[in-house]
């Protein structure tokens, strides 16, 4: 699996492993995109834009998730770092939106 990860994704996993006192292999093993009992994968909406790409796949719960890719040395790699950054950005936006709603409710 590590061979499929972008260099930024590997750096992110290395930092995570160091912080948790485990190996990178431990991080990669637990961070699977598919469920243990998932034997097939449905996918859709493949997009390529220069050196970036994405695909949607149906996870073990039946929801569609987007997986980003980046081209490094002429090979497509999973860009989990970009995926993690997007999750953090979405969480920040949700938090700000919730703060705004709470603050609007407090105004006289």
pLDDT band at 47 (very low <50, low <70, confident <90, very high): very high
For 94, the domain range is: 2-106
pLDDT band at 76 (very low <50, low <70, confident <90, very high): very high
Report d(CA 68, CA 52) in Å as an integer.
Answer: 7
HSE value, Cβ hemisphere, 13 Å, CA-based, for 85? 8
pLDDT band at 108 (very low <50, low <70, confident <90, very high): low
pLDDT at 104 over 60: yes
pTM as predicted: 0.64
Q: Spell out where the chain has E strands.
A: 43-49, 52-58, 64-72, 75-78
**What is the count of structural domains for the chain?**
1
Report d(CA 41, CA 59) in Å as an integer.
Answer: 8
Q: Which one has a higher pLDDT value, 91 or 34?
A: 91
pLDDT for residue 45? 95
3-class SS at 1?
coil
pLDDT band at 55 (very low <50, low <70, confident <90, very high): very high
């Amino acid at each position: 699996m590590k061979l499929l990860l972008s260099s930024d994704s590997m750096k992110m996993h290395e930092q995570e492993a160091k912080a948790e006192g485990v190996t990178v292999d431990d991080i990669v093993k637990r961070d699977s995109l598919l469920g243990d009992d998932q034997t097939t994968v449905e996918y859709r909406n493949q997009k390529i834009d220069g050196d970036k790409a994405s695909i949607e796949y149906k996870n073990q719960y039946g929801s569609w998730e987007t997986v980003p890719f980046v081209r490094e040395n002429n090979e497509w790699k999973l860009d989990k770092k970009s995926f993690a950054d997007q999750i953090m950005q979405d969480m920040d936006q949700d938090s700000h939106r919730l703060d705004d709603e709470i603050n609007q409710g407090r105004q006289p």
